[in-house]
Amino acid sequence: MAWDRNQMAARAANELQDGYYVNLGIGIPTLVANNIPSGIEVTLQSENGMLGIGPFPLEGEEDADLINAGKQTISELPMSAYFDSAASFAMIRGGHIDLTVLGAMEVAQNGDIANWMIPGKMIKGMGGAMDLVAGVKKIIVVMDHCAKDGSPKFIPSCTLPLTGKNVVDLIITDLCVFHRSNHESSFKLIELAQGVSADDVKAKTTADYVVEL
């Protein structure tokens, strides 16, 4: 039994603290917004120029001028604020955002992340991912433990073009959680999904890590 997408998002949401300003990536990270623990208030940032993202609008209330970074229609909250893209990335690069949750294609044991390009295949571009991993205080990666072909994604060193070097703090997969307390130390396996053993993780991981369950 591994975690499903929603359980992975819920695990990431456990990292949120009251008063945090948070940027959520596209895909599973977006689901974190539905799992914010009760009693905690966080402000979501959208890098296209908004703080205080509200829920999807009611039907008929969609506004083409009000979208998130995934280009989906959203709504505003009483405390929302708008700004331009340069100001948006000033707050990201300047270390004013507390936490970001991103997807990844590969994470290396030294904290490198690759999530923007497969040479010759995928050429969508990095969007704001390089700025986020360079500037946000805490970087959480949520990803499937293995790629569709079964190959591990937490590996000794990235094979794909990097998004950031030595930036990842926490990795949440469908099998487990790896954490490191600073950018000089190794990742530690700190948590297993229900029904998953440390040996299961070991069999599907090529990166070096310390077991500290």
Binding footprint of another protein on the chain (CB under 8 A): 46-50, 55-59, 61-68, 70-74, 76, 82-86, 88-90, 92-93, 112, 117, 123-131, 134-135, 161-166
Of residues 93 and 188, the one with the C-beta less far from another protein: 93
Residues 6+ apart with CB under 8 A from 10: 35
Q: How far is the CB of 65 from another protein (least distance, A)?
A: 4
Of residues 66 and 104, the one with the C-beta less far from another protein: 66
Of residues 68 and 205, the one with the C-beta less far from another protein: 68
The CA-atom distances, in angstroms, between 201 and each of 5, 113, 174, 176 are: 18, 20, 10, 7
Query: How many other CB atoms are there within 10 angstroms of residue 41's CB atom?
Result: 11
Q: How far is the CB of 150 from another protein (least distance, A)?
A: 26
Query: How many other CB atoms are there within 10 angstroms of residue 46's CB atom?
Result: 22
Q: How far is the CB of 119 from another protein (least distance, A)?
A: 10
Nearest-angstrom CA–CA distance, 109 and 185: 10
β-strand partners of 77: none
End-to-end CA distance of the chain: 18
47 catalytic? Reply is: yes
Q: How far is the CB of 200 from another protein (least distance, A)?
A: 32
Q: Can you read off the two tokens belonging to residue 167?
A: 């930036």
Q: Is 60 helix (H, G, I), strand (E, B) or coil?
A: coil
Q: How far is the CB of 56 from another protein (least distance, A)?
A: 4
Of residues 49 and 191, the one with the C-beta less far from another protein: 49
Of residues 87 and 210, the one with the C-beta less far from another protein: 87
Give me the catalytic one of 15, 41, 47, 212.
47
Does residue 98 contact residue 137 with C-beta atoms inside 8 Å? yes
Closest CA to 7 of 195, 207, 199: 195
Distance of CA 67 to the CA centre of its chain: 20
The residues that are catalytic are: 47
